[in-house]
A and B are shown apart, each in its own frame.
Chain A
Amino acid sequence: MIPENDIIALFKAPAVAMKAERLLRKAALDCRLIPAPREVAAGCSMALRCPAAQLSTMIRELNRLQLTPRAMYRKSASGYQPVTPSAEGEYHDPVSG
């Protein structure tokens, strides 16, 4: 079970998710790869999970590394809420602009 408030990020390919995990761990983030929950991804994708407290560091590092996620979500009691640029300021979703 993914704890409430945890963040999950989806990337355009599994190897990119792998790269993101490796580099974020090097930056001392407590993140790990998990199977993407079916609510946010069809098929057999991987997602990178991070504790809520590290969200802003995660976004900053991913931007710095130019590893922009395809999408990001926050787990809530009612499901996965998209993390939007307006809510977090720095995260730019390449799909929705």
Chain B
Amino acid sequence: MILYLDNAATSFPKPEEVYQAADRTLRRYGVNPGRGSYGLVLEAGRLVYRTREAVAELFNIADELRVVFTSNATEAINLALFGLLQPGDRVVTSSMEHNAVSRPLHALRARGIQVTEVPADRFGRLQPDDVKAAAMAGGQAARMVVLCHCSNVTGTVQPIEEIGPWCRRHGILFMVDAAQSAGLLPIDVQSMAIDVLAAPGHKCLLGPPGTGFLYLREDLQPTPLIFGGTGGDSMSEEMPEALPERLESGTLNAPALAGLLAGIEYVQRIGIRQVREHKTRLLEALLYGLRQLPGIRIYGPGTATEHGGVVSFTMAGRDPAETGFLLDEQYGICVRTGLHCAPAAHGTIGTLPSGTIRVSPGLFNTREDVDRLLSALTDMLGPNFSISQQGDVQ
């Protein structure tokens, strides 16, 4: 049996309800929501609408029409950064970002946007005072602060509840990449003063791939990234002003969004706190077990309660890529190795260029799964083990 421990990339498996909802929608309402107004289209549209409501409710978003569906978190992040930042703007970010944030910002530099990167410490932690100082550098408030809530490399959680309200008081837009935290950590756009929230639907919200969303505060009106049909006002040559249509041209993925609705309902039923507690227990067992092994180095805070859903480690004298390959080939265990699309984060924790081995258990993993990984690692480290003998390892 394959053991999947790469839920930070995408959650797998999904709850049964998610498969059923996607399948049912594709079979019964496999039409184009928002194109035409016959009964089936309206049914599909209502389903998409209910998904918008579920997203809004989970993150305490007052108006669900400010939720724009995208095909993943990356698209949501690009939409916000390219759509809101203008030449001359200054944006503050961190050294823990995923390429989904740092690459758009790099491209925006060429368009006259100034980017300041605040370094985190070697555990991946950002000091709020450093962010504040960078945001006010030169006596002028930056246009935006954009931060990853929870690192996909170390699992470090940033204190967004402190930084958001501070940004609001200083008239700075606060944008959060919640790729690793949406569905795992409580997020309240109102109390955390989040103006822009980007998240995938396919990770901790348990939806299918091809889902993500962007929340935009009431008065934010980004330039669209994609121009095209929106199902209404067809005579106009301009994109509509109103959200979500302005930013949702093209056919929406209704079956996947129906799956996302089922995923969110599942998370709500279990409760975000319980989800977190389950993952914390698994990470606790993992961290404890890793510490018993020789030559293991753990990155990030090192205490399970301070890790979002992931733990990264290296093994002395071994290339993470090789370890990942062996875990897969010999033990049927899927973990992610390398740089995890976040080279700056690896620069911060000192793991360039080969990166780490990252383990991210999901909602359906058990303590036995963690034990299976730990015994595979023990086995690999055993006195008789070497790469040349890999054929002997069962």
Contacts and interface: CB of A to CB of B under 8 A. Distances in A.
A19 B65 contact: yes
A89 B303 CA distance: 63
Contacts of B36: 35, 44
B164 interface: no
Given A15-B244, A33-B37, A33-B42, A46 B232 contact: yes
A15 B46 contact: no
B242 A19 contact: no
Interface string A17-43: 011011000000000111110000011
Interface stretch (B10-18, B104-112, B191-199, B233-241): B233-241
B46 A18 contact: yes
Contacts of A12: 240-242
Given A13-B245, A34-B37, A19 B232 contact: no
Contacts of B37: 33-36, 44, 46
Q: Which of A32, A34, A46 has its CB near the most chain B CB atoms (within 10 A)?
A: A46
B49 interface: yes
Contacts of B45: 14, 18, 33
B237 to A, nearest CB: 12
Contacts of B232: 13-14, 43-46
Nearest to B34: A14
Contacts of A13: 65, 230, 232-233, 240, 242, 245
A55 interface: no
Interface in B15-42: 34-38, 42
B177 interface: no
Contacts of A44: 35-37, 231-232, 234
Given A34-B37, A35-B36, A15 B235 contact: no
A15 B245 contact: yes
A41 B226 CA distance: 25
Nearest to A67: B65
A43 B64 CA distance: 25
Interface string B101-121: 000000000000000000000
Contacts of A22: 46, 49-50, 53
Contacts of A52: none
A62 to B, nearest CB: 15
26 contacts: A12-B240, A13-B232, A13-B242, A14-B34, A14-B245, A15-B243, A16-B65, A16-B242, A18-B46, A19-B49, A19-B65, A22-B46, A22-B49, A32-B42, A33-B42, A33-B45, A35-B37, A35-B38, A36-B37, A42-B235, A43-B232, A43-B233, A43-B234, A44-B35, A45-B233, A46-B232
Report the 8 A-B pairs with minimum CB-CB distance, sorted nearest first.
A13-B242, A43-B234, A35-B37, A14-B232, A18-B49, A43-B235, A13-B245, A46-B37
